[in-house]
């Protein structure tokens, strides 16, 4: 049976903690999409573990971890991140880590092109991480990139990278910000035999696992509102971050998917550019940023913050059809006297309530959010383990979200530590 964990909002909801909890109950933890632009942080007994390229299931000594073919693989990050978690005491990580030979490579060349493209866009930039994820997926779609299988078995893989570099020079001009194609090819050649022991045929690996009835956890990357099709286009990532993307990025038997879990923050945050109807520009945003430590794991950028937007969450549910929800960072709202929740959008020209979630980023940036104001609880929730132990006002907040979305909130994050989760 497979459980899929997906982000409901614009990412940074705290998916890593739930994945960490559920990883102890499965035999395989897998990534399906995205690349090193992801950022999951898990805190265990005061030690913080940041995951960008690797699945967070590596923290559990009995869990095998797979990077699936829908992921774009940055080989140097694969090894540097592995070395970092090993230095922090993670045991047998190398024996429990697999990567699909069908992964397209995310090259430093892609990162150079990404930064040049963002620079050309100026004030209209997307706000990417600068890690080259968009160009990596574009190269895959153009059939010009290098797969891990090519690195392992094709001595002419370097010619493809040289051809891509030539194309980018024609497109952007100059020296690509100092990028050295021969240095990258040499570095990858040095990694060839190092990464070979980790490389697997993911089709055979997952087929055997599913035949044996092994439990599989899929660790989602980014979130629904960043999906390349369903997100706030063009201010999105370059892969499919929804349920459909998981099914394309891993060969799961759809009949064996047990549940799809959505993770949403008790408020809303966003990194980079793009529309954000409930964004706050004053004291509320500053308070959420400081108490919630809203700084990107991957970029270090201060996240834009605002009240919970249930209109976008309902849209996300209509895309992914969640079976249950994990509400995170409830404790960040502990000191708010009143808490607002976005429950509708009004059209900026007519004042009429808009049905659904606009596809136009321009319109979405102009809508007026309609709020429901709820009473705060003004007491600490940190460390609470049972829903019934939460303050009445906090319980009301959770049930209001459930009633609006029509999905049960099964887990509630009440603090930064690994076990700071209330269950229902």
Longest CA–CA span in the chain (Å) reads 65
pLDDT per residue as tens digits for the range 60-100: 999 999 999 999 999 999 999 999 999 999 999 999 999 99
What DSSP line would sit under 365-418, residue for residue? TTPEEEEEEEE---S--TT--BGGGS-HHHHHHHHHHHHHHT--EEEEE-SSBT
Quick one: pLDDT at residue 262? 98
Does the pLDDT value for residue 36 go beyond 80? yes
Give CA–CA dist 238/74, Å, rounded: 15
| 253 in catalytic set | no
Q: Quick check: helix, strand or coil at residue 209?
A: helix
Does the pLDDT value for residue 17 go beyond 90? no
Phi–psi pair at 220, nearest 5 degrees: -65, 150
pLDDT per residue as tens digits for the range 110-167: 999 888 877 666 666 666 777 899 999 999 999 999 999 999 998 899 999 999 999 9
Nearest to 368 by CA among 344, 390, 387: 344
pTM (two decimals): 0.93
What DSSP line would sit under 345-378, residue for residue? EE-TTT-PBPPS--S-HHHHTTPEEEEEEEE---
Give the orientation angle of helix 157-172 with respect to helix 108-121, to 10 degrees. 10
Q: Which of 40, 74, 110, 317 is catalytic?
A: 40
Long-range contacts of 144-148 (CB under 8 A, 24+ apart): 145/104, 145/105, 145/107, 146/104, 146/105, 146/107, 147/101, 147/102, 147/103, 147/104, 147/105, 148/73, 148/99, 148/100, 148/101, 148/102, 148/103, 148/104, 148/105, 148/195, 148/199
| 12 in catalytic set | yes
Parallel, antiparallel or unpaired: strands 40-44 and 257-265: unpaired
Give CA–CA dist 225/359, Å, rounded: 11
């Amino acid at each position: 049976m497979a459980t899929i964990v997906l982000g409901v909002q614009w990412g940074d909801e705290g998916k890593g903690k739930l994945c960490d909890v559920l990883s102890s109950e499965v035999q395989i933890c897998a990534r399906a999409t995205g690349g090193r632009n992801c950022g999951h942080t898990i805190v265990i007994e005061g030690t913080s573990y940041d995951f960008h390229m690797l699945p967070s299931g590596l923290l559990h000594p009995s869990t095998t971890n797979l990077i699936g073919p829908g992921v774009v693989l940055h080989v140097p990050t694969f090894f540097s991140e592995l070395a970092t978690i090993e230095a922090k005491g993670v045991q047998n990580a190398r024996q429990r880590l697999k990567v699909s030979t069908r992964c397209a490579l995310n090259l430093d060349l892609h990162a150079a092109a990404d930064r040049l493209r963002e620079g050309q866009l100026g004030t209209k930039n997307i706000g990417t991480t600068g890690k080259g994820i968009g160009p990596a997926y574009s190269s895959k779609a153009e059939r010009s990139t290098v797969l891990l299988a090519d690195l392992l078995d094709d001595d002419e893989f370097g010619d493809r990278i040289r051809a891509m570099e030539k194309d980018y020079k024609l497109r952007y001009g100059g020296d690509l910000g100092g990028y050295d194609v021969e240095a990258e090819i040499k570095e990858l050649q040095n990694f060839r035999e190092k990464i070979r022991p980790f490389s697997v045929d993911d089709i055979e690996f997952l087929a055997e696992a599913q035949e044996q009835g092994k439990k599989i956890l899929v660790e989602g990357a980014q979130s629904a509102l960043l999906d390349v099709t369903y997100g706030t286009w063009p201010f999105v990532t370059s892969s499919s971050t929804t349920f459909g993307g998981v099914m394309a990025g891993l060969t799961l038997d759809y009949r064996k998917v047990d549940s799809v879990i959505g993770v949403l923050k008790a408020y809303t945050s966003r990194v980079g550019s793009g529309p954000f109807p409930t964004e706050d520009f004053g004291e509320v945003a500053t308070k959420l940023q400081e108490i919630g430590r809203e700084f990107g794991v991957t970029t270090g950028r201060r996240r834009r913050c605002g009240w919970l937007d249930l209109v976008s969450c309902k849209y996300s549910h209509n895309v992914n059809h969640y079976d249950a929800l994990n509400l995170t960072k409830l404790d960040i709202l502990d000191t708010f006297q009143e808490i607002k929740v976005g429950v509708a959008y009004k059209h900026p020209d007519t004042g009429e309530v808009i049905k659904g979630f606009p596809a136009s980023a321009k319109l979405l940036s102009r809508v007026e959010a309609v709020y429901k104001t709820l009473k705060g609880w003004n007491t600490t929730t940190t460390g609470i383990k049972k829903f019934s132990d939460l303050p009445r006002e906090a319980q009301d907040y959770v049930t209001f979200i459930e009633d609006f979305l029509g999905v049960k909130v099964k887990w509630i994050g009440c603090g930064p530590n690994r076990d700071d989760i209330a269950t229902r």
